[in-house]
Copies of this chain bind each other. A is one copy, B any other.
Amino acid sequence: MTTRTLLVLDAEPLPRLGRLTGRARIEHADESTLAERLPYADVLLVWDFTSRAVRAAWPGEGPRPRWVHTASAGVDHLMCPELAASDTVVTNARGVFDQPIAEYVAALVLTMAKDLPRTWELQRERTWRHRETQRVAGTRACIVGSGPIGRTIARTLKALDITTALVGRTPHTGIYGPDELDRLIARADWVIAAAPLTEQTHGMFDARRFGVMQPSARFINIGRGGLVVEDALAAALAKRWIAGAALDVFEHEPLTPDSPLWQAPGLIVSPHMSGDTVGWRDQLGSQFVELYERWEAGRPLLNVVDKKRGYVPGR
């Protein structure tokens, strides 16, 4: 068996690769050494999924990895025309984040319905102030993104007796197409962005779309920061076009201390952690090792990204 070179782009140690010891030549790269090492690698594991170095370093021609795996659901940080046009296979971490993210969305929905951020504030002030809160049962959610994450969010919200509508790129049984989006978000109490970041979805939540939403609506983004025109969201909140929002992802991460988003009225800011439950790194590591073993044995890979579309198609 030929020993292949596995190049890992990592900013911190990654677990569970021990099983590949002696079977793969494991090398590491950081953002500064990636371009130089990439031509000598058979496989690239993008463990540091916050890095955009792959786009910059990907060789236009000549030797290159035959397979790139990213330890993330989204692939927007690594896709570039040269990679899309090549015969290199790209896989992602489909499946690992579905349930954690769905629970996180349910946490945000319930937190906003029950006015818990205000409860915290009043607790700090040692103030007893009774308020009436909202029932979530019977409310409507529109979930934009019909992949495994969006579908798991829909299932979880349905379990709380919330009526859900899923919007995807292509209409399908139980999935609305993009033409229905405006009509659905205009009726939704909860609008949840769970789409991949592609040319079609970039900036889709803009001033016009926030204007279509109900004044009582809340917007949640656990997809990618680029789905949202952040200034337009901040303005919509300030003008009370919508009642509240929660962002777990941002156009530029980490959010810098001077960002006005930290203090936008009615906005909950969290640091891109919705899918990251205890043990997630182990799961990502194990998932890659399983894929590696398939690849080594010549079996077809799973979670293969449609590089033109920017996500893993199909159900």
Chain A residues within 8 Å of B, Cβ to Cβ: 99-100, 103-104, 106-107, 110-111, 113-114, 116-117, 119-120, 122-123, 126-137, 156, 159-160, 253-255, 257, 259, 262-263, 268-273, 276-280
Closest to A267 in B: B123
Q: Is the CB of B254 within 8 A of A133?
A: no
Q: Is the CB of A133 within 8 A of B104?
A: yes
CB neighbours (8 Å) of A104 from chain B are 114, 133
Greatest chain B CB density within 10 A among A99, A114, A156, A160 is at: A114
CA distance A119 to B254 in the complex (A): 14
Q: Is the CB of B120 within 8 A of A117?
A: yes
Greatest chain B CB density within 10 A among A117, A130, A276 is at: A130
CB neighbours (8 Å) of A117 from chain B are 120
CA distance A119 to B127 in the complex (A): 21
Partner of A268, one of B123, B134, B159: B123
Greatest chain B CB density within 10 A among A253, A255, A269 is at: A269
CA distance A239 to B45 in the complex (A): 43
CA distance A76 to B119 in the complex (A): 26
Q: Is the CB of A110 within 8 A of B106?
A: yes
Q: Is the CB of A103 within 8 A of B268?
A: no
Q: Is the CB of B276 within 8 A of A126?
A: no
A241 → B minimal CB distance (Å)? 21
CA distance A194 to B22 in the complex (A): 57
Given that A119-B270, A135-B277, A277-B134 are contacting pairs, would A111 and B107 also be in contact in the complex, using a CB cutoff of 8 Å? yes
Q: Is the CB of A107 within 8 A of B113?
A: yes
